[in-house]
Chain A
Amino acid sequence: MTTTEPSGVRRGLDAQTLEELRQIGARYPQARSGLLPMLHLVQSVEGQVTAEGIEACAQILGISAAEVAGVATFYTMYKRRPVGDYYVGVCTNTLCAVMGGDAIVERLEEHLGIGNDETTPDDGTGRTITLEHVECNAACDYAPVVMVNWEFMDNMDPASATRLVDDLRAGAEVRSTRGPRICTWREAERVLAGFNDGLADEGPAAGPATLVGLRTARANGWRAPEASTSSDDADNEADPAGDKQDSNDGNDSRGGK
């Protein structure tokens, strides 16, 4: 049983998937380097890391299934049980936990009626949610942080997190605070396998916390020092740090915020 969805996500280890697995290996000087993205692709088509997926990777790379399984069980993003359409990861490392991550997990477990690393049953909508607490996701200035299919949902609280999962289950449009409309977990895994979905231009360059320092610098007229002009005339006009003296340099997207 093999189908291809509009997003390009395929289901099943068909001939094309096997070909894509080989393509991943071919990106590297040594094909085994491709094993991590290959396993992401397996998850995209199988909804988890399956025994068949492990066997396929092993055959393509000419290593044992045990070696592939050893890798698949080492990394937390690889799942040995079916994952829902929306993987909701709540950061409960210290800073997010203290700022409210623990309260968010508690509320979501109660609201969804599931525990950590469990998936909601299909309520007829066809949309399921897997809930897990995750470690630091490098967004501490937006704490507490929730990840949905590895997209940032910044500055959450129990109420907004509850609305988030309700919207996901209802099929409403949910956008990452710093990214595009949330895709499915399988679609996300395909991107992680190196097959770009063309959504890079969605969302902002940066969220507000990212820009706090820059905006403070702009407001106060603080800049990096000018480069000395003696070293290389040809390059000074392009000096990335030195062009702030004249903020009206034709690039009106900068300096005036």
Chain B
Amino acid sequence: MLTPVLSDNWDADRAWTLPSYERGGGYRGVRKALRMQPDEVVQLVKDSGLRGRGGAGFPTGMKWGFIPQDNPKPKYLVVNADESEPGTCKDIPLMLASPHTLVEGVIISSYAIRANTAFIYVRGEVLHVVRRLQAAVAEAYAAGYLGKNIEGSGYDLDLVVHVGAGAYICGEETALLDSLEGRRGQPRLRPPFPAVAGLYASPTVINNVESIASVPSIVANGAEWFSSMGTERSKGMTLYSISGHVKRPGQFEAPLGITLRQLLDLAGGVREGHQLKFWTPGGSSTPLLTAEHLDVPLDYEAIGKAGSMLGTKALQIFDETTCVVRAVLRWTEFYKHESCGKCTPCREGTWWMVQVLARLERGQGSETDLEQLLDQCDNILGRSFCALGDGATSPITSSIEYFRDEYLDHLRQGGCPFDPAASTLFATVGADA
């Protein structure tokens, strides 16, 4: 049912240190990879079927294969550790518990794409994770896993831990590159794609933390081992993060394709005396789903077919005490706050959507406001440089699809019919909600 690989050493004594990581078999993937040709490592990751764990699910090995090796410029690997998608909380605990898993993945991946400089772009708001990364990189240098002539292979790699400064948009890969160049984090128009002209206009691979952290186990155990887990087109194990109104929220590492019903069971179910109302499969940018989707396999294809996206596998669970209008308004305020301002549909559209939603939540406005909201979403979706605006429309369109009546209840009652105290963690257990 569960398949701990990335999380397997998280309960080890001083798991974040190099000796602990090496005791568990760490860094043998590096030695094995350095005996292979870089192209063989790329092929191995292609064969494994690993797809990007940061939300889009793009095949990792294929991304690496796009790096033009005849380009004379330096190649760069950049790890996207800017985990900020609401609900998403897998990379931060991974780096806190076992930063060396990521560092080892960086070394192997950089070797595969022939990069001699790599960066971990970590969000700034996680101080202790920054400390652990800094310490792990220092340990890896001291042990000869980073620097010149790694393990006598002749391969050199420098790794810089780069700390962001608070901007959700920097999780978008081209905004991240601008930010890493010391600029405002605003997305770039593509093409050219980062593989051709990324950091410093040089060939660059940008991968999510979990994607890169999955590489050492693939190298150590083989592509077949990895692809023996998961479904036909969604291979391998992954971290599912369950939060919200469940008895035991937390991280669950399972093969792709497990269902929410199974995961909820492992998490002890929805909190006592309450029922599932709505959930996100992969953060707030993925359309809401409901109890009718409990048995949909949590893989890229099946969730897509159900009208949402697997995203970051951030399963935020809300029970019947939660007002969906309040939830959606808050997410929309977030997108408005985080819109970088570059593209008009997103910058202006998210502002207007907040106005309309806030009025609805107060029980004012009229039913035509719902059509107005859907029209605004239609004018944002697919009309900006990056996916932030697209994501902002997901909670709105999906909530109107599944909970139109609840919006109308606000209008009928002239206000929110819910008691916010009932949905808190410290609401009196067993009280009538």
In the complex, the chain A residue whose C-beta lies closest to that of B170 is: A75
* Interchain CA distance A144-B426 in the complex, whole Å: 10
Interface string of B323-366 (1 = CB under 8 A from A): 00011001100100110100000000000000000000000000
Q: Report yes or no: B131 in contact with A210, Cβ–Cβ below 8 A.
A: no
What residues of chain A lie closer than 8 Å to B180, measured between beta carbons?
Answer: 33
Against A, the Cβ 8 Å flags (1 = close, 0 = not) of B246-278 are 001111111000000000001100000000000
Q: Which of A123-131, A165-173, A176-184 contacts B (4 or more CB under 8 A)?
A: A176-184
**A75 pairs with B424, CB closer than 8 A:** no
B114 nearest CB across to chain A (Å)? 16
Contact pattern, A 178-195, Cβ under 8 Å of B = 1, otherwise 0: 111000000010011110
Q: Is the CB of A135 within 8 A of B250?
A: no
CA distance A141 to B237 in the complex (A): 20
Minimal Cβ-Cβ distance residue in B for A93: B86
Name the residue on A nearest B331 (C-beta): A94
Are B5 and A240 in contact (CB-based, < 8 A)?
yes
B66 interfacial contact with A, CB 8 Å: no
Distance in angstroms between the alpha carbons of A222 and B331 in the assembled complex:
36
User: Can you name the residue of chain A whose Cβ is closest to the Cβ of B423?
Assistant: A98
Say whether B211 faces chain A, with CB atoms less than 8 Å apart: no
Q: Is A36 an interface residue (CB 8 A)?
A: yes
B241 close to A94 (CB less than 8 A): no
Contact among A30, A39, A100, A257 with B11 in the assembled complex (CB-CB below 8 Å): A257
Contact-size category for A: 35 or more
The reply to whether A214 and B16 contact each other, CB–CB distance below 8 Å, is no
Q: Closest B residue to A217 by CB, please name it.
A: B2
Query: Would A71 and B184 count as touching, CB distance under 8 A?
Result: yes
Contact at A213–B250, with CB atoms within 8 Å?
Answer: yes
Q: Verify A155–B84 contact, CB threshold 8 A.
A: no
Q: Number of contacts between A and B (CB, 8 Å)? A: 338
Q: Which of A5-13, A108-116, A224-232 contacts B (4 or more CB under 8 A)?
A: A224-232
Residue contact B182 to A240, C-beta cutoff 8 Å: no
Task: Tell me the minimal C-beta distance from A27 to chain B in angstroms.
Answer: 6
Tell me the smallest distance from the CB of B166 to a CB of chain A, in Å. Answer: 4
CB distance from A106 to the nearest CB of B (A): 10
Interface string of A188-222 (1 = CB under 8 A from B): 10011110110111110111111111111110101
Number of B residues near A (Cβ < 8 Å) is 113
Question: Known contacts A77-B125, A209-B250, A213-B2; is A143 also within 8 Å of B243 by CB?
Answer: yes
Specify which chain A residues have a CB less than 8 angstroms from the CB of B132 in the assembled complex.
200
Contact between chains at A155 and B7 (CB < 8 Å): no
Establish whether residues B330 and A239, one from each chain, have CB atoms under 8 Å apart when the complex forms: no
- Cβ contact of A216, chosen from B2, B84, B228, cutoff 8 A: B2
A119 at the interface (CB under 8 A from B): no
Residue of B nearest to A35 (CB): B182
Q: A102 within 8 Å of B by Cβ?
A: yes
Indicate whether B161 reaches chain A with its CB closer than 8 angstroms: yes
Q: Do B125 and A225 touch (CB < 8 A)? A: no
Are B420 and A140 neighbours in the complex by a CB distance under 8 Å?
no
A139 to B: closest C-beta gap in Å = 6
CB-CB under 8 A from B326, the residues of chain A are 98
Smallest CB gap from B26: residue in A: A240
Chain A residues with CB below 8 A from B421, complex form = 103
Contacts of B168 in A (CB 8 A): 135
Q: Which of B4-20 contact A (CB under 8 A)?
A: 4-5, 7-17, 20
Kindly identify which residue among B11, B92, B221, B330 contacts A138, using a CB–CB cutoff of 8 Å. Answer: B92
Decide yes or no whether B124 CB sits under 8 A from chain A: yes
Whether A254 contacts B24 by the Cβ 8 Å rule is yes
> A74-B185, A143-B243, A192-B127 are known contacts. Are A205 and B14 too (CB-CB below 8 A)?
yes
Q: Is there a chain A Cβ closer than 8 Å to B143's Cβ?
A: no
B28: CB under 8 A from chain A?
A: yes
- Nearest residue (CB) in A for B122 is A192
- Which of B296-304, B314-322, B407-415 lines the interface with chain A? B314-322
| CA A210 to CA B415, docked complex, whole Å | 38
Stretch in contact with the other chain, from B54-62, B93-101, B190-198: B93-101
Q: Which residue of chain B has the shortest Cβ distance to A148 in the bound complex?
A: B127
B299-311 interface bits toward A, Cβ cutoff 8 Å, 1 = contact, 0 = none: 0000000000000
Partner of B3, one of A27, A33, A224: A224
A88 at the interface (CB under 8 A from B): no
Check if A4 is an interface residue, CB within 8 A of chain B. no
B224 at the interface (CB under 8 A from A): yes
Cα(A89)–Cα(B123), bound, Å: 15
Docked Cα-Cα span, A134 to B5, in Å, equals: 32
- B5 x A241 contact (CB < 8 A): yes
Is B162 an interface position by the 8 A CB rule? yes
With A71-B183, A209-B249, A240-B217 known to touch, is A224 a contact of B163 (CB < 8 Å)?
no
Interface residue A37 (Cβ < 8 Å from any Cβ of B): yes
Contact B251 A92 (CB under 8 A): no
29 contacts between A and B (CB under 8 A): A71-B184, A94-B331, A99-B424, A135-B168, A139-B89, A140-B88, A140-B241, A140-B243, A143-B249, A157-B425, A178-B128, A192-B130, A194-B163, A196-B138, A197-B131, A199-B128, A199-B131, A200-B135, A201-B16, A205-B14, A209-B250, A210-B96, A211-B11, A216-B266, A218-B11, A225-B229, A238-B25, A240-B8, A243-B24
Report B's interface with A, CB cutoff 8 A. 1-5, 7-17, 20, 23-26, 28-29, 31-32, 74, 83-89, 91-93, 96-98, 117, 123-128, 130-132, 134-135, 138, 160-168, 179-185, 200, 216-217, 220-222, 224-225, 228-229, 237, 240-245, 248-254, 266-267, 284, 314, 316, 318, 322, 326-327, 330-331, 334, 337-338, 340, 420-421, 423-426
Seed contacts A95-B316, A157-B425, A213-B250; 19 additional CB < 8 Å A-B pairs = A33-B180, A33-B181, A35-B182, A95-B87, A135-B338, A136-B88, A139-B89, A140-B86, A151-B128, A192-B163, A197-B131, A199-B128, A201-B17, A206-B97, A213-B7, A214-B4, A216-B266, A224-B8, A238-B28
Closest 5 CB pairs of A and B: A212-B250, A35-B182, A213-B252, A75-B165, A227-B221
